Amino acid sequence: MAFIPSADDLEILLTEDLTWRIKEISALKSMIEKSAAGVARSSALRAALPMLYAHWEGYIKRSADRYLAFVYDRRPLAISLKPALAYAYLEPRFRGAGGGSSSFTPQAAIEFAERVKTVRTRANPNVMVNTKSNLRYEVLQEIVEGLAVPDFLEMTTKTKLNDHLCDKRNHIAHGESVPITEDAFEELRLEFTELMRSFKDRLITAATNREFLAV
């Protein structure tokens, strides 16, 4: 991932990625409205919901990955970061040093602890956000806690995300007959496009204010 010089540059990247997604989601709404009543419209609704989910998962993952790259490319000492961000960066190094294996002796653990005091971060393709291909409430919670922005979770509900978006998307993706009303889709469209905007804003605020650093 290319170096992101500043919080302003991060905002440009996240905004560009959001803009085309919002346009495509709006096009889905138009497609539904232009569909004839009956099977054509119900089919359009069923097709639109998995696409809405795809943009939701894709945007959260891509934005989170870019935020991590931004944070680590500031090159702070890993131990100066908030614990979740420090852990995400150091855990692969711990495994690489033999952590958790029988060969990882107490002395090796002490030596590793001493070494990490001087480790400065850098963007690492091995430190990426995992949406588990099913961005449910519980997975979102893991992600925002890992980014040290847990308050973002307050912007949605478990029922709305799991039952109304993820479960219905999964049922449709597996060929099950799940009816979607226009009102229900419109409610989800508005809520999750706004959530994506809010996620962008939350990450930009965190980047601008250097919230990734431990107090």
What pLDDT, on the 0 to 100 scale, is given for residue 94? 72
Euclidean distance between CA atoms 162 and 160, whole angstroms: 6
Quote the tokens at residue 89.
């960066």
Considering only CA atoms, which of 14, 196, 53 is closest in space to residue 136?
A: 53
Tokens standing for 112? 């590793």
pLDDT, tens digit (0-9, with 9 covering 90-100), for 155-204: 888 888 999 999 999 999 888 888 889 999 999 999 999 999 999 999 99
3-state secondary structure of 81: strand
Is residue 185 within 8 Å of residue 32, measured between CB atoms? yes
Q: Are 33 and 185 in contact (CB under 8 A)?
A: no
Q: Under a CB-based contact definition with an 8 Å cutoff, are residues 144 and 135 in contact?
A: no
Give per-residue pLDDT as tens, 11-70.
Answer: 999 999 999 999 999 999 999 999 988 999 999 999 999 999 999 999 999 999 999 999
The answer to whether the beta carbons of residues 194 and 140 sit under 8 Å apart is no
Asked whether the CA dihedral 48, 51, 55, 57 is positive or negative, the reply is positive
Quick: pLDDT tens for 59-97: 999 999 999 999 999 999 999 999 999 988 888 777 665
> pLDDT tens across 162-171, in order?
999 999 999 9
Token pair in block for residue 68: 């991590």
Domain boundaries, the chain: 7-75+122-208
* C-beta separation of 192 from 56 below 8 A: yes
Count other C-beta atoms under 10 Å from residue 135's C-beta.
22
- pLDDT reading at 101 higher than 70: no
pLDDT at 132 over 70: yes
Checking if the pLDDT of 116 tops 90, the result is no
Tokens 């991060």 sit on residue: 10
